[in-house]
A and B are shown apart, each in its own frame.
Chain A
Amino acid sequence: AQSVSQHNHHVILSEAASLELGCNYSYGGTVNLFWYVQYPGQHLQLLLKYFSGDPLVKGIKGFEAEFIKSKFSFNLRKPSVQWSDTAEYFCAVIPGYSSASKIIFGSGTRLSIRP
Chain B
Amino acid sequence: SQTIHQWPATLVQPVGSPLSLECTVEGTSNPNLYWYRQAAGRGLQLLFYSVGIGQISSEVPQNLSASRPQDRQFILSSKKLLLSDSGFYLCAWSRGQGAGGNTIYFGEGSWLTVV
Interface, chain A (partner B; CB < 8 A): 9, 32, 34, 36, 42-46, 49, 51, 90, 92, 94, 99-101, 103, 105-108
Contacts and interface: CB of A to CB of B under 8 A. Distances in A.
Contacts, number: 50
Q: Choose among A94, A101, A103, A106 the residue with the greatest number of B CB atoms under 10 Å from its CB.
A: A101
B5 to A, nearest CB: 11
Interface residues of B, number: 20
6 contacts: A43-B90, A43-B106, A43-B108, A100-B34, A100-B94, A101-B46
A103 B107 contact: no
Interface of B: 32, 34, 41-44, 46, 49, 57, 90, 94, 101-109
A100 B106 contact: no
Given A43-B108, A43-B109, A100-B32, A106 B43 contact: yes
Nearest to B93: A100
Nearest to B94: A100
